[in-house]
Amino acid sequence: MSDGPPLPPGTGFAEQGRFVVGSIMRHVLVMSATGSVGLMAIFVVDLMTLLYVSRLGDPALTAAVGLASVVQFFATAVNIGMMIAAGALVGRAIGAGDRPLARRLAASSMALGVLVSGLLAALIMPFADRLLGLVGAQGEALRVAHLFLMITLPSNVLLGLGMMFTGLLRAQGDAVRAMWVTLGGAIVTAILDPLLIFGAGLGVEGAAIAVCIARATFVAIGWRNLSQHGLMRRPRAAEVVADAPAMASIAGPAVLTNLAPSVASAFLTHLFAGYGPDAIAAAAVIDRLTPVAFGGLFALSGAIGPILAQNWGAARFDRMGETLRSCVTATLVYAAAVWLLLILLRWPLAGLFGLKDEAADLFAFFCLVGGAIWFFNGLLFLGNAAFNNLGFPLRSSLLNWGRATIGTVPPAYLGSALFGPRGIVAGMGIGSLVFGLLGLFLARRAVANLAERPAKPCAGQGSTAIVTGELAFPHAAGHDVGKS
């Protein structure tokens, strides 16, 4: 393996970050494994929440939690975009050996994250009923879903800040402490859910309260863990304003990227709603099960970002290409293993969630084809993570919206007309196949193109900048980040 280009004078590996040296596959596996624990903990608890609610014996309550989650994910998508932007900028600063810039960007990103997440929750709450109606909520399901949102939406500020802490810790390369942010919140939820839903007799309200407490736990653990790396300092108003364009240049397209699955999910939920409560219940279980089953793919896409960002900051282009190859291999192995388990366990899982007749048949069909769908989804995730961290965030937006529109609407409509609910599931797979392969191809092209572009002076600064993609990033002393 090539050692890559020499590092800037006076810059050691310790200052630049741990991902610029050592085995790429090891970095990928460690980051993915720790990320999987934290992510799957959250997804498992969400699945358990749905399981507990399903034990209340009212299908309308199960549908309500699923419908509320569809609406709430619009806010989560924005939080994810802010987290991606913060991780990309701070990771590059760490890779370039510029700790003062990393601290400044971390402080600014946290301030902006709190502001944006709070404003978004305030904007969604007055329109919650209308949004729930658009995704098919009616009657008792609408009433319960609205109640769930009114309790959980104000805590979106806590969720946004907790996710920001996770992204910054991963940008630092501290996968273990990043894992404990989400794992701690998941443990709290796992304990509180049965106590509040059944013990206190609060039902769905208890599940919503547990969500809020878990988000407060995210913040408490994240604050403590990030302080260990010296990245915590008070944000300064002038710096927040100055850094906002750099955050927006990545967060804006990243938010659009993450909103695309929300729009597609809302459209699919609306289609399933046309087949009655059984189809909605099956779709809700699928939505909760797939993050648990394929959480490793989400973790893989999260792992690739900090590794690429640090190596880009260090101009280690050879290692960036190797990172993509290692992630594709891991995606294939993981998706195949999970697919086999889903096929073998499809009927026991359907029974566990009380799915019967048409609902059970629809769920079982998804298990038979879901592995292939999610393998190609995984390739698209990798491409998105690469674009967001390498200065090409608009490409990830275009790919995701392409899949959410022309890759979802026509095939799902056609499948629904020809084969009913099963056809909707099959239609989902067509977009995943096309856009997953396209995302991987373009990501490889992006890395190759970056390697061919030489570092050159950044105008108006007394340092050098690696000018690549759509952003010019300061390599040493300069602290201005903006359009090249």
- Measured CA to CA, the distance from residue 218 to residue 220 in angstroms comes to 6
% residues pLDDT > 90 (the chain): 15
Looking at the domain assignment, is residue 165 inside a domain? Answer: yes
Distances (CA, A) of 412 to 126, 184, 282, 283, 419: 31, 38, 16, 14, 10
| pLDDT at residue number 36 | 62
In a domain, 401, yes or no: yes
Cα–Cα distance measured from residue 256 to residue 327, given in angstroms and rounded to the nearest whole number: 24
Q: How far is CA 445 from the centre of its chain?
A: 23
Res. 349 pLDDT band, cuts 50 70 90: confident
Q: Is the pLDDT of residue 470 over 70?
A: no
Mean pLDDT of 447-465: 51
Instruction: Give the whole-angstrom CA distance, residue 452 versus residue 35.
Output: 32
Mean pLDDT to the nearest integer, 210-239: 89
Residues 74-88: tens digit of each pLDDT: 788 788 888 888 888
Q: For the residues 397-421, what does the mean pLDDT come to?
A: 88
pLDDT value at residue 343: 93
- The string over 66-93, giving b where at least 16 C-beta atoms fall within 10 Å of a residue's C-beta and e elsewhere, is bbbbbbbbbbbbbbbbbbbbbbbbbbbb
Sheet containing 464-468: which strands, arranged edge to edge? 456-457, 464-468, 471-474, 482-483
Q: Lowest mean pLDDT: which of 96-100, 214-218, 231-235, 392-396?
A: 392-396
In this prediction, residue 456 carries a pLDDT of 43
Written as six digits, the tokens of 175 are 């996968």
Tell me the pLDDT band of 116, cut-offs 50, 70 and 90: very high
In a domain, 21, yes or no: no
Q: Is residue 302 part of a domain?
A: yes
In a domain, 1, yes or no: no
**pLDDT tens-digit map of 178-196:** 888 888 888 888 889 889 9
Inside any domain, residue 12:
no
Burial status of residue 237 (CB atoms within 10 A of its CB: 0-12, 13-18, 19 or more): exposed
The count of structural domains within the chain is 1
Q: Show the DSSP H helices in 277-408 as ranges.
A: 277-293, 295-313, 317-352, 357-389, 393-404
- Alpha carbon 10 to its chain centroid, in Å, reads 36
Asked whether the whole model's pTM tops 0.85, one would answer no
Q: If you average pLDDT over each of 7-21, 104-118, 227-241, 242-256, which comes out highest?
A: 104-118
- 333-347: pLDDT as tens digits: 989 999 999 999 989
Q: How far apart are CA 327 and CA 307, in angstroms?
A: 11
Residue 286 lies in a domain: yes
- Taking the CB of residue 390, how many other CB atoms lie within 10 A of it? 25
pLDDT at position 58 over 90: no
pLDDT digits (tens, 9 = 90+) for 301-331: 767 777 877 777 777 777 887 888 888 888 8
Instruction: Give the distance, in angstroms, between the CA of residue 355 and the centroid of all CA atoms in the same chain.
Output: 28
Query: What domain range is 334 assigned to?
Result: 38-483
pLDDT tens digit sequence for 3-52: 333 333 333 334 456 777 777 787 777 776 666 666 666 666 666 777 77
